[in-house]
């Protein structure tokens, strides 16, 4: 008889506990929505920290693993490991919708360049921006120049990359 009386009480306690968890989840999602900029920065920082682990890895044409990367293979790999699916080939980055003016770049954005042939005005090289727009624009990428591999380049100090600049795409939402 006592067990029959306790069952509704236990159910009521579990129901209260489930409701409080639901409330916490609701509060958590409200905080996440109202502080989405912090989430964006945290996600960008996570991606950049992950990318920097591969500094010095050699350039390999067609490479998309830590054994060696080409430019788009590196960007693809870093974002894939952070659950963001991007094109494998650099030429498809121009088709991404979220074009950002160079004055509004943020860390985590993808920077697009023509390939080494300046006569072809199509994307042939990509990198990940690692600085905010109040800083010098720096990006991490896999450079084929002299088989350098994964390096950080200061856009403002590089005439070659300034000449080849095509655009910036935002792939991490900050809204």
Q: What is the CATH number of the domain that holds 159?
A: 3.90.1720.10
Reply yes or no on whether 32 is catalytic. Answer: no
Determine which one of 125, 164, 169, 170 is catalytic: 125
Query: Which residue of the set 107, 141, 164, 170 is catalytic?
Result: 141
Looking at the chain, the whole-number percentage of residues with pLDDT higher than 70 is: 75
Exactly one of 47, 51, 57, 71 is catalytic; name it: 71
**Nearest alpha-carbon partner for 71 in 152, 126, 153:** 126
The tokens for 174 are 């900050």
- One domain, residues 126 and 54: yes
Look up the domain containing 67 and give its range: 36-169
Examine the domain organization and report whether 135 and 65 are in the same domain.
Answer: yes
Q: Domain check: are 53 and 135 in the same one?
A: yes
Q: Is residue 136 domain-shared with residue 72, that is, in the same domain? A: yes
Residues 10 and 62 in one domain: no
Does 174 fall in a domain? no
Q: What is the pLDDT of residues 20-33, one digit of tens each?
A: 333 333 323 333 33
* Whether 82 is catalytic: no
The answer on 101 and 27 residing in a single domain is no
**Are 28 and 103 part of one and the same domain?**
no
Q: Same domain, yes or no, for 68 and 139?
A: yes
The token duo for 25 is: 């989840």
For this structure, is 71 an active site residue? yes
pLDDT at 52 over 60: yes
3-state secondary structure (DSSP) of residue 106: coil
3-state class (DSSP) for residue 25: helix
Please indicate, yes or no, whether residues 65 and 95 belong to a single structural domain of this protein: yes
Mean pLDDT of the chain: 81
What is the total count of domains within the chain? 2
pTM: 0.76
């Amino acid at each position: 008889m006592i067990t029959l009386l306790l069952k509704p009480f236990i159910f009521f306690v579990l129901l209260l506990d489930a409701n409080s968890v639901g409330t916490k989840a609701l509060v958590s999602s409200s905080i996440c929505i109202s502080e989405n900029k912090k989430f964006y920065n945290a996600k960008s920082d996570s991606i950049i920290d992950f990318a920097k682990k591969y500094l010095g890895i050699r350039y390999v044409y067609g490479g998309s693993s830590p054994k060696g990367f080409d430019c788009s293979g590196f960007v693809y790999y870093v974002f894939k490991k952070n659950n963001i699916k991007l094109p494998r080939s650099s030429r498809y980055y121009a088709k991404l919708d979220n074009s950002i003016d160079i004055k509004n770049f943020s860390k985590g954005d993808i920077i697009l360049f023509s390939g080494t042939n300046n006569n072809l005005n199509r994307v042939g090289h990509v990198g990940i921006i690692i600085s905010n727009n109040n800083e010098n624009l720096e990006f991490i990428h896999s450079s084929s120049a002299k088989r350098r591999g994964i390096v950080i380049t200061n856009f403002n100090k590089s005439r070659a990359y300034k000449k080849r600049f095509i655009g910036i795409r935002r792939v991490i939402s900050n809204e």
